[in-house]
Amino acid sequence: MDEHEWLAERFEEHRGHLRAVAYRMLGSVHEADDAVQDAWLRLNQSGASDIENLGGWLTTVVARICLNMLRVCRTRSEHPIGIHVPDPIISPDQVAGPRQPEQEALLAESVGLALIIVLDTLTPAERLTFVLHDMFDLPFDEIAPMVDRSPAAARQLASRARRRVRALGAPVPDADHIVQRRVVDAFFAAARSGDFDALVALLDPDIVMRADGGASRPQASAVVRGAPAVARRALMFAQPTAVVRSALVNGAAGVVITAGDRPISVMGFTVTNERIVEIYAIVDPDRLTGLDLTALDIQDTA
């Protein structure tokens, strides 16, 4: 084995962890992959002979890359606050088949779309300190140089971020996946049958639905609040001919909706106390085209 192959093998041992860090920093699968690839290029140029802790070195490099990406080219700033839906992690429904290893790594210590949306409200420095310390247990002594702060100042950044995350708090989904799936299936059954009362009964009174149509369909982007309003929207856009396919979206019950084998929507749900409290829908055709659905079980949910 030559030096390049040896270095590539060592890098691959850390790829899953690096993608998980980058996804939490950026909320985008494609941007996370770009950051990890950039880290590989830097490692390949510098070599690893003088690096004592390769995992720590790579984590630092990826975190710095992500920090610069957030500062210089944050795509989320192009969207009104609350309407942008982060890239979902889509995997087969766990009752139908196992997740791929790379999906498991991304979702280790599961991170829902609601939390990613909250993280989007933090400053880049706050996000880095919160992600690295609170999610990956890095000490502030190691984090501080990344944000050009003292360890004490980095601790304050993380504390400020933590308070904001708690204040905006993401709801905790029901632990029983079968319950989640039953509620989501009932939602689509009620929408298809036009049963407004059944829809409202499945929704939390304070439900929030975020739909992201992107630049291609700005008219489809909206934040809808309250059970009656969300139920009316579900009835308005129910498509009897569309195929609703089971999926896990960031580890929770969700669906991929297709028409003619073409994805037209990805929807994630947060089910708490057997009611839907949040819905996230991506209906942007450009983003949907770029989704990797090869691992998805395609058995219909209805």
What does the pLDDT read at residue 301? 43
The number of CA neighbours under 13 Å toward the Cβ of 253 is 27
What is the per-residue pLDDT across 43-97, written as a single tens digit (0 to 9) for each? 988 777 778 899 999 999 999 999 999 988 654 455 555 588 999 988 888 654 4
Task: Answer whether 155's CB lies under 8 Å from 140's CB.
Answer: yes
What does the pLDDT read at residue 291? 79
What is the per-residue pLDDT across 162-196, written as a single tens digit (0 to 9) for each? 999 999 877 888 989 999 999 999 999 999 999 99
Distances (CA, A) of 287 to 8, 29, 90, 201: 30, 11, 13, 32
Here the tokens at position 125 are 């420095």
Residue 152 CB contacts under 8 Å (≥ 6 apart), including other chains: 140
